Structure 1
Amino acid sequence: MNAFINWLNKHLVPVAAKIGSIKWLVALRDAFIAMMPATMVGSVASLLNALVRDIPTRFGWTGFVNAMQPIVNINVQVWTGSMAILALIFAFTFGYHLSIQYKVEPITGGIVSLGTFIMALPQNSIITLKKTLSAADIKTITDAGSTVSGKTISTPGFFNFNTYFGANGFFTIMILGGLASAIYIWFMHKNFTIKMPDSVPPAIANAFTGIIPAIGSLYVSGIITWAVNTMSKSTVIEIISNTIQAPLLNMSQGYGAVLLMTILVQVFWFFGIHGTNVLGPVLDSIWLTAQLTNISAATAHKALPYFWTRNAFDLYAWIGGAGSTLLLLIAILMFSTRDDQRAVAKMAIAPGFFNINEPVMFGLPIVLDPIYFIPFVIAPVVMVTIAYFVLAAGWVAPIRVQYVWSMPIFINSIFATLDWRAPILQLVNAIIGFLIYVPFVKAANKVNPADLNQE
């Protein structure tokens, strides 16, 4: 065991440390975190509408639903200004945080990324009719600014709000918005800027500093999007969505991808590296995108397209934090005879119920403890396997509402899925994870704490 841990320490830890220090990934992680207020506000609106409209409708309570219509309409407005425009928010936060990482003026960086995303969108509404229009109808439509070709009507200056302003725009922002931000940062580092006198207020000086870099980056984006639109008869976002985003999201629903991510997070954590943070850009880029797509689909009364999403890891495999350490704490309190571990468990159990596990990770510690390495990896692997196939079979509903990560077990699952079976799955997994930890807690009883302090 020690030889295996030493091998991992030598070959894996340096890789994890390098990943955690990549500025682009840090910016991506921070950009997703910065969206949290909008995500939560939109989720609250979706949840309220589910409670006052969707669920009562199933029971035929039309009178109650009609009475609640003003609240429903308000929630729709709130959702429109939050969850529905996450791509616009993410476009700005990604450019902003990328600029912070490279120490350049961040507001303009966010504007550049946002403007680039808008360029990548389809800007025409295409409607195909079943019959040919009359000359009078064609004149009316063309006078309004649209173009008629046979049975097709094209209207410029139209953005498909429902299709691309949500999670479907994320990958385009990461790729094209990232490229535009990189060009902006390059101009800034080369000092292709307008310098203002020291007497000019900082807000004005910063705005002038970013003018030339913004012109350069946005024109490059404009050339790229124009060329793609002209040569492919499509748009950048449609191409990226069909060739990159859709295949990745489909791959994320495979058991191998879910299992690999679970193992990597556990192994990184074992070596004291915050696995969920280091791999956060991957978790959020793929599985959070799937989750936000589900939330939007639920709001539109459509079938949820993805059964495994970002918070499914937290609900079913990481109960109380990565490694399901809440279950370990309960096992220690019940079966440990070591005063040192019981003292840590008593201190860490309350935070553990709210998914804060740093006290047990570094206080017990689990980090680099060869006794707990096996259950720390095996318990989440078994739990995620059970949950994966249960959700894949449709026995428990997928996540449809974003929830606050610090919600305790059982409350978080019923809130996120609106399915009474989700807490039952959590309970089954919690019992199994607990049973996996128990033998190792008993094995740790045989270790003399005084021996751990000897050289």
Structure 2
Amino acid sequence: MDFLERVLLPIADKLNNNRYLSALRDGFMVALPLIIFGSIFVVIANFPFLDKFLSEDAYAAYQNALGPASAATLSIMGIFVIIGIGYKLTEHYGVDAIYGGVVALAAFLILTPQVLEGVSGVIPTSSIGAEGMFLGIFTAFISAELYRFFVQKNLTIKMPAGVPGAVSRSFSALIPITLTLSVFLVIRIIFSYTPFDTVQNFIYTVIQQPLTVLGSGLPATLIAVLLIQIFWFFGLHGQIIINSVFDPIWYALNDENLQAFQAGTELPNIVTKQFIDTFLVGMGGSGMTLAVVILIFMIGKSRQLKELGKLGGPAGIFNVNEPIIFGLPIIMNPIIIIPWLIAPVVVTIITYYAMSIGLVPPPAGIIVPWTTPPILSGFLATGNAWQGAVLQMFNIIVVGIIWWPFLKVLDKNYYENEAKGE
């Protein structure tokens, strides 16, 4: 614990306060309502057994009618994330944030190929979806930094005092936006003379593809899960810290699965954003503490645990577990560090191999709101497959078995202290 405190806590603190990771996290939060909207209609469009009750033409017409909901949100989610990152990073510097968002989007579009199967002036949705996500993130960071640099150097047009505020701000942004976008235009021209042809091809080949392959594997996932638990143990929000780093990878993998699910082809990835959010966090919050709440009602004798169960139970159903984390407590509690670290790792391994051997379908790329109760979330995330719900139930049992002896010891300590009047 001394080693972890000396080494990991400073790293976690720097990650948590890093302006780029904060902008990245908040950028995804800007896009989240739109992503969830699109996911809801993917579920409705692919409702189980509906194709058995409708004719082939009627079912196709039904899906075509609902298709634009996901095409206008999930398929182009990169656009919303880019605007969100540019906005939040510019806001961090105290500069007019809306221009940071739009200049980030414009810079990204300048770098994006606008040719599809020989037809110019057309942007493939893959370029503004998963495939273009990493380019969008880097572009948003760089463009926001350039824009605020030019603004803070006072390279702006000053309008007279009587000019309306909206007009004045627009002219003030003109020179910084022009200089920023000119930089990206030059970059595009330079890359057109390289073997990669476009910046997007370069980013995807050199950076995104290797990182995505790494992030989709079990070892990297286990490291991420373990770090989430360690950070939480020391009172730091491990989910926010680790998600800031892994979300671009997990969302890209998620989008690949969604495209395959909608096309009716084999899902390419097991580890995705919904793998983490549904089968780990989505079972009572970080550490899957819904099983702990159930155990408290089953074996708890101490007044402290019984009251904690009543408080944490309703919230835990919707994956909010702060009452358990701070009330048990989990933070800096040596009695429960072993189940707190081991249970998520074991469940991650079980879930991964259950999906890899075909017992359970991988997540279909549908973004299920993180507050969706377990069982229902497993059903929805796997494309309305009952196996997803069963796997969640099994995992809850596994977590309960791992926690049982340690929670028994903790409950006994609390009960004896209460009997002594301490």
**TM-score w.r.t. length of structure 2:** 0.93
User: Measured at CA, do residues 448 and 410 of structure 1 come closer, stay the same or move farther in structure 2, by a change above 3 Å?
Assistant: closer
User: Measured at CA, do residues 78 and 450 of structure 1 come closer, stay the same or move farther in structure 2, by a change above 3 Å?
Assistant: same
Matches within 5 A, 1:224-239: 224-232=187-195, 234-239=197-202
User: Measured at CA, do residues 86 and 255 of structure 1 come closer, stay the same or move farther in structure 2, by a change above 3 Å?
Assistant: same
Amino acid paired to 2:345: V
Amino acid paired to 1:27: A
2:37 corresponds in structure 1 to: 41
Once the 2 structures are TM-superposed, how far is the Cα of residue 182 of structure 1 from its aligned partner?
A: 1.4
**Is 1:328 aligned with 2:324?**
no
Task: State the number of aligned residues.
Answer: 417
**For 2:369, what is the secondary structure of its paired residue?**
coil
Amino acid paired to 1:28: L
**Is 1:109 aligned with 2:134?**
no
Contact 1:288/1:309 (<8 A) preserved: yes
Contact 1:228/1:236 (<8 A) preserved: yes
Amino acid paired to 2:326: F
2:266 corresponds in structure 1 to: 303
The whole-number CA distance in structure 1 between the counterparts of 2:363 and 2:322 is: 26
Once the two structures are superposed, residues 404-436 of structure 1 have per-residue CA deviations (whole angstroms, 9 ceiling, x without a partner) of: 110111000101112111112111111110011
1:404 corresponds in structure 2 to: 369
Amino acid paired to 2:389: P
2:14 to 13, 18, 22: 18
The whole-number CA distance in structure 1 between the counterparts of 2:240 and 2:42 is: 27
2:378 to 403, 413, 416: 413
Contact 2:113/2:123 (<8 A) preserved: yes
Structure 2 stretches lacking a partner, 5+ long: none
**For 2:116, what is the secondary structure of its paired residue?**
strand
1:79 corresponds in structure 2 to: 70
**Is 1:362 aligned with 2:326?**
yes
1:201 to 157, 161, 164: 164
The whole-number CA distance in structure 1 between the counterparts of 2:260 and 2:273 is: 16
1:312 to 254, 272, 275: 275
Once the 2 structures are TM-superposed, how far is the Cα of residue 209 of structure 1 from its aligned partner?
A: 2.2
**For 1:394, what is the secondary structure of its paired residue?**
coil
**Is 1:443 aligned with 2:409?**
yes
Once the 2 structures are TM-superposed, how far is the Cα of residue 301 of structure 1 from its aligned partner?
A: 2.8
Amino acid paired to 1:73: N
1:131 corresponds in structure 2 to: none
Matches within 5 A, 1:44-443: 44-51=40-47, 55-57=49-51, 59=52, 61=53, 63=55, 65-126=56-117, 154-161=118-125, 163-232=126-195, 234-318=197-281, 319-400=283-364, 401-417=366-382, 418-443=384-409
Structure 1, 170-179 or 228-237: larger mean CA deviation = 228-237
Percent identical among aligned pairs is 32
Bigger radius of gyration? 1
**For 1:193, what is the secondary structure of its paired residue?**
coil
Once the two structures are superposed, residues 135-174 of structure 1 have per-residue CA deviations (whole angstroms, 9 ceiling, x without a partner) of: xxxxxxxxxxxxxxxxxxx44323223x212121110011
Once the 2 structures are TM-superposed, how far is the Cα of residue 221 of structure 1 from its aligned partner?
A: 0.7
The whole-number CA distance in structure 1 between the counterparts of 2:141 and 2:13 is: 23
User: Measured at CA, do residues 87 and 448 of structure 1 come closer, stay the same or move farther in structure 2, by a change above 3 Å?
Assistant: closer
**TM-score w.r.t. length of structure 1:** 0.87
The whole-number CA distance in structure 2 between the counterparts of 1:9 and 1:265 is: 14
Contact 1:83/1:296 (<8 A) preserved: no
The whole-number CA distance in structure 2 between the counterparts of 1:430 and 1:203 is: 55
The whole-number CA distance in structure 1 between the counterparts of 2:316 and 2:97 is: 36
Once the 2 structures are TM-superposed, how far is the Cα of residue 449 of structure 1 from its aligned partner?
A: 7.5
Contact 1:166/1:293 (<8 A) preserved: no
Once the 2 structures are TM-superposed, how far is the Cα of residue 201 of structure 1 from its aligned partner?
A: 3.3
User: Measured at CA, do residues 125 and 336 of structure 1 come closer, stay the same or move farther in structure 2, by a change above 3 Å?
Assistant: closer
The whole-number CA distance in structure 2 between the counterparts of 1:109 and 1:32 is: 16
The whole-number CA distance in structure 2 between the counterparts of 1:119 and 1:28 is: 21
**For 1:306, what is the secondary structure of its paired residue?**
coil
Amino acid paired to 2:216: Q
Structure 1 outlier segments of 4+, above 4 Å? 448-452
The whole-number CA distance in structure 2 between the counterparts of 1:326 and 1:199 is: 60
The whole-number CA distance in structure 2 between the counterparts of 1:317 and 1:158 is: 40
Once the two structures are superposed, residues 94-128 of structure 1 have per-residue CA deviations (whole angstroms, 9 ceiling, x without a partner) of: 211111122211111111111111112222334xx
The whole-number CA distance in structure 2 between the counterparts of 1:203 and 1:355 is: 43
Structure 1 stretches lacking a partner, 5+ long: 127-153
1:141 corresponds in structure 2 to: none
Contact 2:291/2:400 (<8 A) preserved: yes
User: Measured at CA, do residues 69 and 385 of structure 1 come closer, stay the same or move farther in structure 2, by a change above 3 Å?
Assistant: closer
